[in-house]
Amino acid sequence: MALAASTNAAGFAKRSRKPYTYERLSDLRLGSSPVSVMGVAVLFKAPYQSRGRDFTCTVEIVDEGCSNSPVPLIFFNKEKEKLPRGVNVGDVVCVRRVEVGEFNHRLQGKCRNHSSWLVWGSSQRGGGREGRGKAPTLTSEGASWDSLEMTRAGKLLSWSTSVGTGELQWVHSVSPTYVGIPPDPEHL
């Protein structure tokens, strides 16, 4: 397998690494951990204190293969600042080293301290091409990305733009206080 040159959040080239292989959400299976996934955010619940010692937040994502059945990604970290913040409906979320589990007969991804994540903002849309080749808007500490990931993020941004609000109309945002608030149309 060829090594891919990657870029870190500061824009500097990092040591070459094997490219990550991303699973389509429809191909996820219980026990297939760890996996890397990438999809369009359809729900975000801001970080809050869990029942234990960790902080947690939730991002539900879809891709071309499972637009009707979002996959929840549950993030855990002892430090609230190390969790994704400000993810908007329509953003592309990329998470590596996700543990696939099940809750209430539904697959979900658990993202712990060893998981890394990147978010490409939906504001990078523009005829479907502007998102390609642009750096992520949010990243976990030390995360890097390569041209293959930027291309895939651009394709997901284009796909989510092409399906528009008609197909994803059931999508809603979640705030720590209110559930089921319709998304701001500007973010779709």
What confidence tens digit (pLDDT) does each residue in 127-142 have? 344 444 467 777 888 8
Q: What angle do CA 94, 98, 103 make, to 5 degrees?
A: 115
Instruction: Give CA separation, 51 vs 54, 109, 175, in Å.
Output: 8, 19, 18
Are β-strands 144-145 and 116-120 bridged in parallel, bridged antiparallel, or unpaired? unpaired
What pLDDT was estimated at residue 7? 53
101 is written with which tokens? 């589990």
Residue 98 has pLDDT above 90, yes or no: yes
pTM of the predicted structure, to 2 decimals: 0.75
Mapping DSSP to helix (H, G, I), strand (E, B) and coil, where does residue 153 land? helix
Query: Distance (Å, rounded) from C-alpha 147 to C-alpha 150?
Result: 5
Strands (E) located in 50-150:
55-62, 71-77, 92-103, 106-111, 116-120, 138-139, 144-145
What confidence tens digit (pLDDT) does each residue in 42-89 have? 999 999 999 989 999 999 999 998 877 899 999 999 999 999 988 998
CB 8 within 8 A of CB 143: yes
Share of residues in the chain with pLDDT > 70 (%): 71
Q: For residue 124, name the pLDDT band (cuts at 50, 70, 90).
A: low
Query: Distance (Å, rounded) from C-alpha 93 to C-alpha 76?
Result: 16
CATH number for the domain whose boundaries are 18-165: 2.40.50.140
